[in-house]
Amino acid sequence: MTDLEKAARFPYLQRVAFGGKVTGRSFGVIYDGPARFNLTNLAQILEDIHERLTAVIIENLDWKAFIDRYDRAETLFYLDPPYYGCETDYGEKVFSRDDFSAIADRLMALKGRFILSLNDTPEIREIFSAFNIVDVKLNYSVCGKQKPVSEVIIMDKKEPAVANLPR
């Protein structure tokens, strides 16, 4: 495929595949509305993507190499690894259960700040117990059915910068 064909294929797959999954895609059908992807809008979709990503640097690095490259006191990392128990959702050997502990160890030595989102499991709470953990209750909806779930937002324990401002 040409670069332009690859660029067009990506938003197509993201919009018509269930959950935008990279592997193991399945497609849904909408009976009471228009298709989720209208080929006549492709040029505008690509233009919107181009404009939004103009100042973005896209890296294809292992998470450890990425953190090592960009870790500075002024950096805020947002980490969104696969959920605990779903380590192979993005492909075999991409992420392992041991990587959760490796992330926690690396975050302990972080110069910058971080926000990490994960599913709420006893194992995750244990692995990341050295950090601030905030409970998040929400509903997943698939095919119109609501399912209550629990997630966690994990953050460093550093004082916020605003705490040092004069009053």
Quote the pLDDT of residue 161: 52
For 74-128, the pLDDT digits (tens) are 999 999 999 999 998 888 888 999 999 999 999 999 999 999 999 999 999 999 9
Q: Tell me, what CATH number does 165's domain have?
A: 3.40.50.150
Question: 68 and 24 in one domain?
Answer: no
Confidence bin at 164 (pLDDT 50/70/90): very low
User: Using CA of residue 28, residue 34, residue 39, residue 43, what is the dihedral sign?
Assistant: negative
Do 25 and 67 fall within a single domain?
A: no
81 and 147 co-located in one domain: yes
Nearest Cα residue to 87 out of 78, 76, 98, 96: 96
In angstroms, the CA 70 to CA 88 distance is: 26
**What pLDDT was estimated at residue 119?**
94
What proportion of the chain, given as a percentage, has pLDDT over 70? 83
In angstroms, the CA 27 to CA 39 distance is: 17
Instruction: Please indicate, yes or no, whether residues 23 and 74 belong to a single structural domain of this protein.
Output: no
What is the pLDDT confidence band of residue 167, given thresholds at 50, 70 and 90? very low
Of 161 and 106, the one with more pLDDT: 106
The mean of the pLDDT values for the chain is 84
- State the residue range of the domain holding 43: 1-58
